[in-house]
């Protein structure tokens, strides 16, 4: 059955304030702000209904950092941006966790930098469209549309690699953009190419 | 709005054999009990964010490196309480994860980290061990290459 796409939900105002971002900093999930001219993070203006990052900054979400994202991004993370042709806001929180675990296994257990060919062999990207009540109707999501998941081809046995239980919050087992935490948007410097 | 083709790219067939030793090693790590939750707890315990640019790989964060480099890798010098590490793991992965599981699978070079050589000897034959060790050494010798260059040298694409 062909799928019909309808308009995406609007952005919602972010509730992230300087105080909440400083809490993330204290928890060790954000870098300390050291520069006034090019700060390591910026809180959004309270009266903006949608994120308007200043020039040289991109949108991030507090949830990403609770799932293990760090800034500035590693080379592996920058390759993920480049390969999938997306910005940070397009990753789902589960995709961030998948990339975190892969990088940690490569470095901490295999003793090497994240191996790009191994990544391509094990994982694929999936586009997430939000479900509507009507069958065959989906809506694009503004954030969190890229899921990264183990390949499950006939000849592949992904469970042989690392036991993995993603947080499941929708019937099809993915995390939608709407719960990616749109209301926790703030800004990070654009990663260097 | 469709998934772009390159989101499913794999590795070109001629290069797939190069991955065998890595896949074998991953299987052995799984046999030893490694899970995503244990990986995350080890990451949080070390106060490192794996997707952040750092001067050292995680396996290089030993006692012999400069404290300046170590500080640049860690988000804090304070140890994270087990309860807090558990809470952070539960945010990211489903399933039961308890405080006693924290540090259940230490990373290199921490005490108690898995000895892959011993694991090979337990789960395979001596011949398999040396064959895998040789292949693994060949792969690791090439892993300091920049992944960006690896991706762009083959156009970032392989077989879907």
CA atoms within 13 A on the CB side of A165: 12
Say how far apart CA B73 and CA B31 lie, in whole Å: 30
For residue A23, name the pLDDT band (cuts at 50, 70, 90). Answer: very high
- pLDDT value for A188: 92
pLDDT mean across residues, chain B: 76
State pLDDT tens for residues A87-132. Answer: 898 898 889 999 999 999 999 999 999 999 999 988 888 887 766 6
Give this complex's ipTM: 0.82
Q: Is residue A177 less than 8 Å (CB to CB) from chain B?
A: no
pLDDT digits (tens, 9 = 90+) for B30-75: 888 888 899 999 999 999 999 999 999 999 998 889 999 999 999 9
Domain assignment present for A37: no
Handedness of CA A127, A131, A137, A140 (dihedral sign): negative
Q: Which residue has the higher pLDDT, B14 or A164?
A: B14
Sign of the Cα pseudo-torsion (B128, B129, B134, B140, in order): positive
Q: Mutation target for B interface from A109, A127, A156: give the one with most B CBs within 10 A.
A: A109
Residue A136 lies in a domain: yes
Chain B residues near residue A151 by CB distance under 8 angstroms: 10
Strand partners, A163: B35
Based on C-alpha coordinates, what's the Rg of chain A? Answer: 17
CA–CA gap between residue A70 and residue B22 (Å, rounded): 26
Distance CA A97, CA A93 (A): 6
Reduce the secondary structure of A55-117 to three states and give it as a string: CCEEEEEHHHHHCCCCCCECHHHHHHHHHHCCCHHHECHHHHHHHHHHHHHHHHHHCCCCCHH
Cα distances (Å, whole numbers) of residue B155 to A78, A151, B43, B152:
16, 21, 32, 4
A67 at interface of B, judged by CB pairs closer than 8 A: yes
Q: Are A7 and A178 in contact (CB under 8 A)?
A: no
Q: How distant is the alpha carbon of residue A188 from its chain centre?
A: 13
Query: Could you tell me how many residues make up chain B?
Result: 160
- Is A120's CB within 8 Å of B58's CB? no
* A86 located within any domain: yes
Q: Per the domain annotation, does A36 fall within a domain?
A: no
Nearest chain A residue to B108 by CA distance is A108
Domain hosting A69: range is 53-189
Give residue B137's pLDDT.
Answer: 62
- How high is the pLDDT of residue A36? 85
CB < 8 Å from A in window 17-56 of B: 18-19, 22-23, 25-27, 29-30, 34-37, 39-40, 42-43, 47, 49-54
Least confident of A132-146, B33-47, B101-115: A132-146
Instruction: Look at residue A33 and tell me whether its pLDDT is greater than 80.
Output: yes
pTM: 0.81
For B27, nearest residue in chain A (alpha carbons):
A161
Which residue does chain A place closest to B72, by CA atoms? A31
Predicted confidence at residue B157, as pLDDT, reads 39
Q: Classify residue A23: in a domain, yes or no.
A: no
pLDDT in tens, A150-185: 887 655 554 446 655 555 444 344 444 445 567 888
**How close does chain B come to A92, measured CA to CA in Å?**
12
Strand A137-140 to A57-61 pairing: unpaired
d(CA A112, CA A23): 33
Q: Is residue A35 part of a domain?
A: no
Residue A65 has pLDDT above 80, yes or no: yes
Measured between alpha carbons, how far is B160 from B158 in angstroms, rounded to an integer?
A: 6
Q: Would you give the DSSP letter of residue A8?
A: P
In a domain, A15, yes or no: no
Residue A13 domain-assigned? no
* C-beta atoms of A113 and B143 within 8 A: yes
Tens digits of residue pLDDT in B64-95: 899 999 999 999 888 889 999 999 998 888 87
- Work out how many domains chain A is built from and give that number: 1
User: CA dist B57 to A17, B62, B73, Å?
Assistant: 33, 10, 9
């Amino acid at each position: 059955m062909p799928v019909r796409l309808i308009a995406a939900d609007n952005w919602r105002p972010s509730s992230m304030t300087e105080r909440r971002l400083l809490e993330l900093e204290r928890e060790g999930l954000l870098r300390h702000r050291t520069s006034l001219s090019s700060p390591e993070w910026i809180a959004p203006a309270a009266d903006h209904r949608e994120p308007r990052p200043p020039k040289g900054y991109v949108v991030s979400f507090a949830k990403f950092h609770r799932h293990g994202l760090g800034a500035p991004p590693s080379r592996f993370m920058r390759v993920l941006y480049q390969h999938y042709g997306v910005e940070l806001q397009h990753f789902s929180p589960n995709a961030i966790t998948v990339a975190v675990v892969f990088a940690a296994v490569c470095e901490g257990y295999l003793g090497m930098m994240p191996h790009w060919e191994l990544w391509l062999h094990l994982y694929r990207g999936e586009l997430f469209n939000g479900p509507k009540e009507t069958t065959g109707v989906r809506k694009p999501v503004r954030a969190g549309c890229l899921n990264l998941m183990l390949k499950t081809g006939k000849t592949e046995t992904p469970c042989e690699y690392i036991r993995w239980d993603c947080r499941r919050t929708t019937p099809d087992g993915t995390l939608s953009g709407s719960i990616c935490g749109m209301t926790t948007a703030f800004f990070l410097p654009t990663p260097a190419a | 709005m469709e998934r772009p083709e390159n989101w499913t790219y794999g590795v070109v067939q001629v290069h797939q054999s190069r991955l065998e030793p890595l896949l074998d090693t991953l299987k052995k790590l799984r046999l030893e009990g490694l899970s995503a939750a244990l990986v995350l707890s080890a990451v949080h315990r070390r106060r490192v964010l794996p997707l952040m640019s750092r001067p050292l790989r995680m396996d290089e964060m030993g006692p012999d490196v400069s404290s300046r480099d170590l500080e640049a890798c860690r988000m804090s010098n304070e140890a994270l309480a087990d309860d807090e590490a558990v809470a952070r793991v539960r945010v990211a992965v489903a399933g039961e994860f308890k405080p006693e599981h924290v540090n259940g699978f230490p990373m290199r070079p921490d005490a108690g980290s898995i000895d892959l050589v011993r694991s090979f000897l337990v789960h395979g034959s001596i011949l398999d061990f040396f064959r895998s060790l040789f292949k693994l050494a060949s792969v690791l010798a090439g892993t300091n290459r920049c992944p960006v260059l690896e991706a762009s040298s083959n156009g970032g694409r392989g077989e879907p």
